Amino acid sequence: MILFSTLKAFLKDKEYRDLVGTVLAILIIGTVVYHYLEGWTWLDSFYFSFITLTTIGFGDFAPETNAGKIFTIFYIVLGVGVILAFVNTLYHHYSELVKKKAKQESE
């Protein structure tokens, strides 16, 4: 229940919505670029973009073209920072809501 209230409150704030939009834009850009540069399906391209930016990196896909490799270098540098900022912001927002709820229950 707290997760849904956290997401609802998170999306009401313009700064947070902008951050979500930025993350989605980066994932979409990566998906489109990998689809055309590497010839992967849309799902494989999105999967690779997501796995790369979350730093999981299973290794089941890797760019084979020089253009794909060069794009990946820049994509990681830009994208990982944005994804980490998103996760950090979401965590802090969630922890603030938990603290507020605990404070209200103790009163």
State which residues form the domain around 25.
Answer: 17-99
Residue 106, in any domain of the structure: no
- CATH code, domain with 72: 1.10.287.70
- What pLDDT does residue 76 have? 93
Reading the chain (107 residues) residue by residue, the pLDDT tens digits are 666 776 777 778 777 788 888 889 999 999 999 999 999 999 999 999 999 988 888 889 999 999 999 999 999 999 888 888 888 887 887 788 788 888 888 87
So what's the pLDDT on residue 96? 81
Residue 6 lies in a domain: no
Domain count of the chain?
1
* Residue labelled with tokens 């930025």: 22
Side chain identity, residue 35 = H
Q: Which residues touch 5 (CB under 8 Å, ≥6 apart)?
A: 97
